[in-house]
Amino acid sequence: MPGSKLALASMIAVFLLCCQVQAAITSHWNVPGKGQWGDANSWNPTIVPDNGEVTFDVIIDPAGDLGYYEEVKVGLQDNHRINQLSCFGVADLESWGGRNELTVESGLTNYGYLEIEKIEIKGNVTNIDGAELCLCEMDIEGILYNEPGAMIEVEDGVSIESKFTTAGSFLVNYGTVDIIPYGELWVEDALDNTGEMNVYGGICGCDNVFNNPGVISGFGVIGSGGVFTNYGEITAFGGSLAIWCHYLTNGGTLNNTPLSSLQIDSKYDVWNKGTIYARTGGGVAFVCSLVNDTSGLIELLGGTLAAAAITQTAGAEFTGFGSIAGNIVIQAGAGIELTGPTNIIGDVTIASGATLVVSAGQTMITGLTTNDGTIRLSGGTVLFTGGYSGSGEIIDPIGHWPMDDDAASATVVDIAGHNNATLFDAGGIATTEAHNGEGKIGGCLTFDGIDDYIAINGLTSYDTFTYAAWVKFDNLSGRQKIFCGGGIFYIRLINGYMDVYSLGLSDNYMRMDSFKPVTGEWYHFAYSYNGSSKKFYVDGLLEYQESANGVIDAFASMMLGAHYMQTREFLSGSMDNVMVFNKALSAGQIEAMCNE
């Protein structure tokens, strides 16, 4: 029994001794100005901190320990190993002779302004909120964390590697990283950016890049040997920003500022599920094919979009003006709208059920245009310099009033260029700025249901035609005219139902009993007559049809929002994007127009 107690006491003594050996000693930097790491007098206590029989937690805090507020320089002439390093104030950690290693088993944490030069840090590095870290010609074997509110400046030859760690090598950025001119940053595994990364003529190379949802901007090069995922924003400014990768997924924004260009060099095709802006004086260029996928948005803002091929899919949006370089394919159910002068350098293929809308300016297509769908001219023109073929149609409306007017005048502009309209209210000629509202497509014009209407004169009669408009009702009571051509033809709401009257046709009345609109909702109404049948569509879908023949002479004097006598049946609601065609559009063309 006494022997057992003695043995137990011996074990406890050994355990306590081991605990004492493993306990960390905190050592503080003790030299203002500059000094050597390996000099015992540089530390308080005056010993050289280097893990051996004991471990060291090292603190460099010249202001807190010495009252010294200027920069201190700490030089390494040999390799050292410690437990952890905490830096405060202004400090410069550098190698004096060769490229020395500093192993920091529990990591380096910077709370102040720290420069690290020509040293290989083995361990994780953390840059705290409010801290600044400057890196030059150095390596980190571990993970570099840059917290929110922290900043890192990268100069020449900085690499983050995992040669001696299984945890991987990553740059995890929640703050700001600046790569200065000629600066180089190499990350062996991955860059995970949710903060801001600015490239000022430098280079950043990584195995993988995850910009989720951070900001990458500037000019220079960002390269990925594997996957490049963007759910944030990538913007070129100040010059050219090049993105190199095997595979790019864009669910965020690809962008350029004026006079700058963003270049995407991907081994595989890029599928855009986010947004691409191409601004004036520059643009966005892909050294591969580009697919504008469902929910994707491409907007030309006077700039250039270039790719080996550009495919527009159904559900995606493509609009604007500028330049497009590359062959374009518009798939069935998809559409592109060009809103100003545009040059297309390449072939254009428009599939059956697809639409190209030119709403302003001239579009010049230098390659072959194969149109099996619809080209709709709504205030613009197309010049086919590379030839034209296909079984599709080119539709030019005889009247197109977008209702975007917002001026101190009564003019309602017809962008088809034939007949501007005039807005009236109780005071006689009205101003459109007093009736402008938020429309289905841009602006709209509002009607009070008392005395507001729009008069259109100067059109003629047509053997076949289509009328279309977006309409929203504020109330559903009584009789409300949407469109009225003399006393011959009208489309109206009557006590919650829609009906159409067409004097001159063999069957002149149709009522849509199965459709009842509600207030506050936008509806797309379209009425077509092809000489043998009349059809009424709601939101692109056929609601009613009847056989009919004859001629409707209804367009010489047209009213929008009131009876032709201008004294009753006023519309209470809003109207947007009114169009008249001198042909009967197909169901597919009306559906495409509704879905734009």
Mean pLDDT by runs of 10 across the 596 residues of the chain is 47 41 80 93 92 90 86 94 96 90 96 96 96 96 96 94 64 97 94 97 95 96 95 97 96 98 97 98 97 97 98 97 98 95 98 93 97 91 95 90 92 88 86 93 94 86 90 96 86 94 82 93 96 94 91 80 86 96 90 83
Q: Is 227 domain-assigned?
A: no
Do 368 and 466 have their domain in common? Answer: no
Q: What pLDDT score was predicted for residue 65?
A: 83
Do 431 and 574 have their domain in common? Answer: yes
Do 497 and 564 have their domain in common? Answer: yes
The total domain count for the chain is 3
Do 489 and 551 have their domain in common? Answer: yes
Whether 447 contacts 573, CB under 8 Å:
yes
- Residue by residue, DSSP assigns 9-75 as HHHHHHHHHHHHHHSEEEEEE--SSEEETT-GGGEESSS----SSSEEEEEE-HHHHH---S-EEEE
Task: Compute the half-sphere exposure of residue 337: CA atoms within 13 Å on the CB side of its CA.
Answer: 14
Q: Is 203 domain-assigned?
A: no
Do 467 and 528 have their domain in common? Answer: yes
Do 529 and 579 have their domain in common? Answer: yes
The residue to which tokens 């370089």 are assigned: 325
Which domain, by its residues, includes 468?
400-595
The residue out of 368, 396, 424 marking a domain boundary is 396
Distance in angstroms (rounded) separating the CA atoms of residues 75 and 117: 10
Whether 287 contacts 306, CB under 8 Å:
no
The domain that holds 482 is classified in CATH as 2.60.120.200
The residue out of 337, 365, 396 marking a domain boundary is 396
Do 513 and 384 have their domain in common? Answer: no
Helices (H), 427-576: none
Q: Is 343 domain-assigned?
A: yes
Q: What pLDDT score was predicted for residue 18?
A: 41
Q: What pLDDT score was predicted for residue 415?
A: 87
Q: Is 4 domain-assigned?
A: no
Quick one: tokens of 242? 């090049």
Q: What pLDDT score was predicted for residue 533?
A: 92
Q: Is 564 domain-assigned?
A: yes
Do 406 and 392 have their domain in common? Answer: no
Q: Is 540 domain-assigned?
A: yes
